[in-house]
Amino acid sequence: MRFIKILILFGSLLILVGACETGNLLDQNIKTEPIDSSSVAFVKFMQNFAGNTPQLPTAPALTGPQVFLYANGAKLTGTAVGFGALGFFPVTSVYSTVPAGANITFHVVQARMNLAVVPNVPAPIAGDTLITFSQTLVAGKFYSFIMGDTLPTLKVNVVEDQLPTPAYQKYKIRMANWLMNLGDTINVFSRRENREIIQNISHKQISDWIELPLPIISDTIELRKKGTTAPYISIPTFVPAGMRMYTILSRGKTGLTNKLPAATIIINR
């Protein structure tokens, strides 16, 4: 009889634990609901301006502008976005949400901070706004905001990103050429494919998406100047995932300290 009572008590505890676990899972499902895209658009901001000026007096030498992006007066970016390895927003996810609407006013502002306040807060002054532009964002659509242009002019190019899902065991890739050398028309060579997969992408151009099979081992992507076979920029150990979409983004300028021609691969989907 004592053994039966113990079994009944143990069974009751299991039911209670199961109920708690079910509640936790339900809470998690509620917290991870997909974003309602009926009122927001999706934006990725890239700072590719290969100039060392303008820059704030408090900034380290040869960095160029560190900036915030504002939409209708509301700051969208978190920390300042510069040209370096963290020259993208958002950094930890693919796109950020922005309220959709017609003729949204965007400002790119130098990231001047009030260091006397803890935590520090933005404190722009006259002249810190580097770029002002208007853009209509359609709910549910995806956009790349690419800051760059020839020296010393700054501009943001807005590109709507069409993201059709790649087939199973395949991926899609495109080339965005934001090198500040105007003569640098780029071809993209894949060592795994042993061919040029994208051709003739000139300054401030973005290619169409191409779909490729997943490589058995990692690929090396070479950017070549049109008419040459020598690697201009190499991206080793590229390991794409199935049904993902990627952008090869080239940027920089020949002879410019800390901002020589380079390329990175961004995940779009």
Of 48-57, 128-137, 145-154, 183-192, which gets the smallest average pLDDT?
Answer: 145-154
Q: Cα–chain-centroid distance for residue 160?
A: 13
Q: What is the pTM of this model?
A: 0.82
Quick: pLDDT tens for 244-254: 999 999 999 99
Of 99, 128, 161, which residue constitutes the final position of a domain?
A: 161
C-alpha to C-alpha distance for 107 and 124, rounded to whole angstroms: 12
C-alpha to C-alpha distance for 71 and 119, rounded to whole angstroms: 22
CATH number of the structural domain spanning residue 202: 2.60.40
Burial 41-63 (b: 16+ CB within 10 A, else e): bbbbbbbbbbbbeebeeebeeeb
C-alpha to C-alpha distance for 203 and 227, rounded to whole angstroms: 16
Domain limits for position 256:
164-269
Tokens of 191: 């060592």
Of 126, 161, 196, which residue constitutes the final position of a domain?
A: 161
- Residue type (1 letter), 118: V
Number of structural domains, the chain?
Answer: 2
Of 108, 131, 161, which residue constitutes the final position of a domain?
A: 161
Q: Supply the pLDDT for residue 116.
A: 86
57 and 45, same structural domain? yes
186 and 105, same structural domain? no
Residue 249: inside a domain, yes or no? yes
Residue 114: inside a domain, yes or no? yes
143 and 184, same structural domain? no
Q: Supply the pLDDT for residue 35.
A: 57
Residue 1: inside a domain, yes or no? no
Q: Cα–chain-centroid distance for residue 159?
A: 13
Residue 265: inside a domain, yes or no? yes
- If pLDDT is split at 50, 70 and 90, which confidence band does 231 have? very high
User: Are the C-beta atoms of residues 63 and 83 closer than 8 Å to each other?
Assistant: yes
Whose tokens are 């069974």? That residue is 11
